[in-house]
Chain A
Amino acid sequence: MRNNTDSIAVSVREVSKIFDDGSGAFVALDNVSLDIGSNEFFTLLGPSGCGKTTLLRLIAGFEQPSQGQILLHGENLEQLPPFKRPVNTVFQNYALFPHMTIAQNIAFGLEMLGRPRQEINSTVDEMLDLVQMKSLADRRITQISGGQQQRVALARALAPKPKVLLLDEPLSALDLQLRKDMQIELKRLQLETGITFIFVTHDQEEALTMSDRIAVMQGGHILQVGPPRDIYEHPQHRFVAGFIGEINLLQATAGKTNPEGLDLQLGEMSGLKTEAKSQVTPGTKLALAIRPERILLAGPDKEQLSGKLINVVYHGTDTLYHFTLPDGQSLRARRQNTDKTGPEWKSGDIISWSAKPDSVAVLED
């Protein structure tokens, strides 16, 4: 589906954006290319300053790319001002019109498009239903809560039935519980309306929960694009591995390649394997990434892989164990608390551990 040009909603082609305030140029986006499929819930994820909001503003038309093109369903958007693009935005602070009621806010886009009054009224009703705000239609924006404002902002942006909906960290101002509810709500709206959502966030959990695909960005580059599971299980960059979830980053030396995988040396210690992608010259230094929950702990030292337990942190659903490996690297392992008591391991104990070859990722730096 993604490779079919008909179903590509937004195509970003070799786009760069350079801001120059006179005192120095800042490269916000550096030669970024990206295809976003229609009906996709696509997330741009990255820390602040990574260029994700800039990319969103380029698609919306608030900024013009310094280089490259952006296509919307095959049509070049260059030179099209924001008010001519069939794209709507949900702003971070909502940017609702304070001098209008909720219903007037939702109707605004349709009025500007010159739709007949009757159609406007029925669409506004439909949108109020969709975000469950019907009873508050005539309230002013200043009279409703943050969560309600969020819903109005969504309804206002969805009312003109845009081809693409852009969401700029819309949940960041809400408290935790409301944010979790809205995550589910957003996903529901996206499925119900069938509109392409491009969602910008710095919250990796939000990205994993809602997205069909995620693009992880850093320093104006897209590092990796893929479904949440891919991004989480097979991070290709050290940054992606560290940014999404918790992870152990280890230095290892490549050993022999054999049918079960590639042998790895952690200092003097051997026994760890990874699924070999390609031939690696023995002796090559490799960066490994292993999720703490994929480390299997096996009690007192029996096997080759071991570590000295230095700290135990109880988290309720699971317990986190901190180790120091014989070569001095540190390792964290997360163990599900499947019974009330758990193993009686203490700091200073030597514990053996293992990891399945497919849980050990080799990173490109």
Chain B
Amino acid sequence: MAGRLSPIKIRALLIGPAAAVIGIFVVIPLLLMAWISIQGRDYSGGVIWGELSGEAYLRMIFERELDDSLSVNLNYIMIVLRSVWLSLLTTVISLLVGFPTALFMATRTPKWKAILVFMVTLPFWTNLLVRNYAWILLLRDHGAINGTLSWLGIISEPLPLLHTQLAVAIGLTYSFLPFMVLPIYASLEKMDLRLVESAFDLYATRFMTLRRIIIPLAIPGIVAGCILVFVPSLGAYVTPELLGGGKTLMIGNLIGLQFGAARNWPFGAALGILLLALVMISLTFYALKLKKTGGDTK
């Protein structure tokens, strides 16, 4: 052999492929997006490469009048706030539905556990678009829910279900619930059920056992589940597009609109950066929370 490679070269070679993947698919596109967000835009909608401009960020809060003066426009901020609100709502509903589900699954026999985990992941076998269309069929004015209710004589007019925030929250919850159930299930499944017996033995009622033993031990799963639901909900595109109609735009739709019909790439890119910042803030919150709970909650 013509001499061996130095350890530093070996390390560089080993880390190279991973670094290349991250660089090409994450770092460069992100930098590109950040760059576009501070570029100028001409009247036909093209990006003026090289001309620095803060216009895209100004647009989030202000509107430029014909005389070039700025006036406050909170429409976009409302969309961002609605996105955060709907994502939080989705996270809370998913937690309330997902935790009992996970607890139920974790306390079954091994055979049933396998079947139930399989059933939770079953919806992923169908395309997200198709699953959201299915909700349209259920929620629309003459859909399954309104149809059944009026056939039973409970309502005379169809309830306005489709194209509401509720519809979006239902759709998002339905789409992301497995991301809540699975991490909570994983942490509950690891838990020694004898701890529950031990708590009962020490005079804890069912409720106190849940509060003092089961939930604290499931915290890592709960936090992971909340992040896995909140983050994709915040950037959701398909669900608000189909179930929200025009009235309940979320940040994902707004971004889509800017890159498409509105032909305002800098603004779309700036909104993308904003979304990224929101996600970063929530992840930092998670990290701080984990640190506070002692750090040994693996």
Q: Which residues does A use to contact B, with CB under 8 Å?
A: 60-62, 81-84, 87-89, 91, 93, 95-99, 108-109, 112-113, 140, 142, 156-157, 160
Contacts and interface: CB of A to CB of B under 8 A. Distances in A.
A291 B201 CA distance: 42
Interface of B: 192, 194-195, 197-205, 208, 212-213, 216-217, 294, 296-297
Contact of A99 (B197, B198, B205, B297): B297
30 contacts: A60-B201, A62-B197, A62-B200, A62-B201, A82-B197, A82-B200, A82-B201, A83-B200, A83-B202, A87-B201, A91-B194, A91-B198, A93-B192, A95-B192, A95-B194, A95-B195, A96-B198, A97-B195, A98-B195, A99-B216, A99-B294, A99-B297, A108-B199, A108-B212, A112-B203, A112-B204, A112-B205, A112-B208, A156-B202, A157-B201
A98 to B, nearest CB: 7
B202 A160 contact: yes
Contacts of A96: 198
A239 B94 CA distance: 58
A14 to B, nearest CB: 25
B169 to A, nearest CB: 32
Pairs A-B, 8 closest by C-beta atoms: A109-B202, A95-B198, A112-B203, A82-B200, A95-B194, A112-B204, A89-B201, A83-B203
Given A97-B213, A98-B217, A99-B297, A108 B202 contact: yes
A61 B197 CA distance: 10
Given A98-B217, A99-B297, A140-B296, A113 B203 contact: yes
Contacts of B212: 108
A89 B201 CA distance: 7
B200 A81 contact: yes
B208 A88 contact: no
A167 B208 CA distance: 24
A142 B296 contact: yes
Contacts of A61: 200
A161 to B, nearest CB: 12
Given A108-B212, A112-B208, A140-B296, A95 B203 contact: no
Given A93-B192, A99-B294, A112-B202, 11 more contacts: A60-B201, A61-B200, A82-B200, A88-B202, A89-B201, A91-B197, A95-B194, A96-B198, A97-B198, A99-B297, A112-B203
| Candidate in B195, B201, B217 with the most chain A CB atoms within 10 angstroms | B201
B112 to A, nearest CB: 13
A88 B201 contact: yes
A355 B298 CA distance: 64
A228 B57 CA distance: 86
Instruction: From A60, A87, A99, A109, name the one whose CB has the most chain B CB atoms within 10 angstroms.
Output: A99
Q: Which of B197, B198, B199, B204 has the most CB of A within 10 A?
A: B198
B127 to A, nearest CB: 40
Contact of B198 (A81, A84, A89, A140): A89
Nearest to B194: A95
Nearest to B205: A83
A93 B197 CA distance: 12
Contacts of B195: 95, 97-98
Contacts of A91: 194, 197-198
A338 B205 CA distance: 61
